[in-house]
Structure 1
Amino acid sequence: MGKIIKGIGGFYYVKTQSADETLECKARGVLRHQKIIPTVGDEVMIQSDNPGEWMIEAILPRKNIFVRPPVANVDIGLIVFSMKNPKPNLLLLDMLLISSEIQNVEPVICFTKRDLVSEKEEAALREIYGKTPYKLFFFSNDDYPTMDEITRKIGGKTAFMAGPSGVGKSTMANYLCADQTMETGALSMKLKRGKHTTRHVELLETKNGGFLLDTPGFSSYKISEMIKMDELREYFPEFPRGECRFKSCLHKDEPSCCVKEAVNNGNISAVRYEHYLSMLEEIKKEQIR
């Protein structure tokens, strides 16, 4: 049994659990007949018919699967934004949080370039996201203790990075996967070995047994295509549940709304609430067309 960490040209490279080695495998014909395509991240059963020849016998049930880039069984999404240069787009950040949760991925918020902002600017971001249950990290490129914390957070799990360009994802990934060579700015492997040189999706091993996807290609999905208006509130975990006068309360114009009251009392970030209203309106426009 093992995990597919790379796939190129019909060959799949499986990191085994027992022997801690990577084996080149092909998929059984029965998988093709069943139209099951092995995907990077899949947990698989393998067997050898001949010495040195390994076959993927079966693919275990998936926790989730993504299309772009193709990867399965992602546990954690590292949502990476800089605190300055570029200024963080918090609406996009909140969309990425929701996109992660919809796919059953635990989001972890990482704010980089801490050395470029004042304590007041950092406090403003902590005020917004400190009211949520999400794990928060604030750090600079040379803040190795914090990046070690992130490494421990994804230990034994599969993670991806998402966020805009120029925020330090490559530098961060280089630290998390210190024993592998990556191109700063591209988050891609320099393939210096083997006969395969085409671009591909690959899981890179982190320092403590986790895996990090080698592409920054994740972005927020179109929220209106994934959830309905009355489902959006469930993806704001700091919103109180079942305390409004009306069970169907959308936390917008209804009277005796506990969420609006919590915003007024400062228990919920006004910024997050405004983003909620913005997304709610977007879903309404898209779904009534």
Structure 2
Amino acid sequence: MEVSYLVAQEQVQGKIIKGIGGFYYVKTDDHDEVIECKARGVLRHQKIIPTVGDEVMIQSDNPGEWMIESILPRKNIFLRPPVVNVDIGLIVFSMTNPKPNLLLLDMLLVSSESQNVEPIVCFTKRDLTSTAEEKEIKEIYQKTPYKLFFFSQNDNHTMDEIIAEIGGKTAFMAGPSGVGKSTMANYLCADQTMETGALSRKLKRGKHTTRHVELLETKNGGFLLDTPGFSSYKISEMIEPEELREYFPEFPRGKCRFKSCLHKNEPGCDVKKAVTNGEISSVRYEHYLNMLDEIKKEHY
């Protein structure tokens, strides 16, 4: 990564792609360069901590000395790992070895929805399973607005379609281990000379090396968070019972008899009617009830 030491009296806008040891590395919007910066003292006094993913304004008064002057409003913020302004969540599961845990998948979808992140669902190892199993999963999620991708390890055409989805955006990966997230990340960021199999020095470091969050550039100007194992959040820590229904986009809105309907035991529930009619997947509905019970236990 080349670091620039130009001087600019005018402020320059860019994105923080890495932060380590009090230094922040900003990829500028107008030029293909990365600039090493420190945070202006006023930000520290305001207890504002620059974070990877931040859109910032930077300025240089002396050669080699760039300062972060201000941080633009954030779209969202995550704590594990610390990153902001995430646009897309690549939710990655395999069709087999391990078999997909669809409850976990739906929890990750809800987590993404609650943070204003667009989820894209990716199923790997397509060649190791049957068309009937793929059809079964498609029938569950075709009633949702989520984009689904099924592919095998060497299916570069589908991988290129996924790259097109994250062009110019910031994405993270989430999903269980052993599903091919590292192989997928290596392809998305192929220009960075990744090492498939052992992940890469960029994507996975030894246990004794310093860990820092970094955004890696994808092939078409997007960014991918450098950790393929993005943490899932405990649903009950994020969402109130009355909010959960809002994160199932296929549920009809405002048609139940009671405005406060939780779609469980209430009479005149339009969601339960839609499940009975096959308009909503019974699997997704059961997962909704499971999550609702979990949230209630924590809140009441």
Fold conserved (TM > 0.5)? Answer: yes
1: CA distance, partners of 2:247 / 2:202: 38
Matched, 1:231 2:212: no
- Of residues 14, 20, 40, the one that matches 2:52 is 40
Q: Per the alignment, do residues 100 and 185 of structure 1 end up closer, same or farther by CA in structure 2, a change over 3 Å counting?
A: farther
How far apart, in 1, do the equivalents of 2:90 and 2:147 lie? 10
Partner of 1:21: 33
Q: Is the 8 A contact 2:91 2:173 kept in 1?
A: yes
What letter matches 2:42 in structure 1? V
- Is 1:125 paired with 2:99? no
Q: 1:94 and 1:72 mapped to 2: Cα distance?
A: 22
| CA offset digits 1:216-275 (Å, max 9, x no partner) | 342321111211111111111001111111221111112221111111111111100000
Alignment match, 1:11: 23
Q: Secondary structure at the match of 1:14?
A: strand
Indicate conservation of the 8 Å contact 2:202/2:226, yes or no.
Answer: no
Give secondary structure in 2 for the equivalent of 1:31: helix
Residues 96 and 219 of structure 1 are in contact (CA less than 8 Å); yes or no, is this contact kept in structure 2?
no
Q: Which amino acid aligns with 1:225?
A: E
Of residues 134, 139, 145, the one that matches 2:151 is: 139
Give secondary structure in 2 for the equivalent of 1:179: helix
- For 1:245, the equivalent position in structure 2 comes to 257
Of 279, 282, 292, 1:267 maps to 279
2-structure distance, mates of 1:235, 1:198 = 36
Alignment of 1:167 with 2:179, yes or no, is: yes
The CA distance in 1 between the partners of 2:242 and 2:198, in whole Å, is 39
Structure 1 stretches (4+) deviating beyond 6 angstroms? none
Distance 1:245 1:147 in 2: 45
TM-score (norm 1): 0.94
2:94 corresponds to: 82
Match of 2:214 in 1: 202
What is the letter of the counterpart of residue 119 of structure 2?
A: P
CA distance in 2, matches of 1:190, 1:248: 48
Does 2:79 correspond to 1:67?
A: yes
In the aligned structure 2, how far is the partner of 1:202 from the partner of 1:149?
24
Counterpart-to-counterpart distance in 1, 2:31 and 2:14: 10
Contact 2:81 2:231 in 1 (8 A): no
- 2:35 & 2:200 partners in 1: Cα distance? 22
- Determine the C-alpha separation between the residues in 1 that align with 2:35 and 2:214: 14
Secondary structure at the counterpart of residue 200 of structure 1: coil
Please, what TM-score do these two structures have when normalized by structure 2?
Answer: 0.91
AA aligned to 2:50 is P
Q: Please point out which of 114, 119, 122 is paired with 1:107.
A: 119
Q: Which runs of 5+ in 1 are unaligned?
A: 192-196
Distance 2:265 2:198 in 1: 45
- 2: CA distance, partners of 1:61 / 1:190: 28
Show structure 2 runs of 5+ residues with no match: 1-12, 204-208
Whether the 8 Å CA contact 2:177–2:229 is kept in 1: the answer is: no
The alignment covers a number of residue pairs equal to 283
Which region of structure 1 is more displaced relative to structure 2, 25-34 or 157-166?
25-34
Task: State the partner residue of 1:194.
Answer: none
Letter in 1 for 2:279: N
Is the CA contact (8 Å cut-off) linking 2:86 and 2:171 kept in structure 1? yes
State the distance in 2 between where 1:36 and 1:15 align.
20
What RMSD over aligned residues (CA atoms) do the two structures have, in Å? Answer: 1.4
Amino acid at match of 1:63: K
> Matched residues in 1 for 2:84 and 2:242: separation?
28
Instruction: Give the conservation status (yes or no) of the 8 Å contact 1:69–1:217.
Output: no
1:39 Cα offset (Å): 0.6
Residue in 2 that maps onto 1:155? 167
Secondary structure at the counterpart of residue 246 of structure 1: coil
Percent identity over the alignment? 84
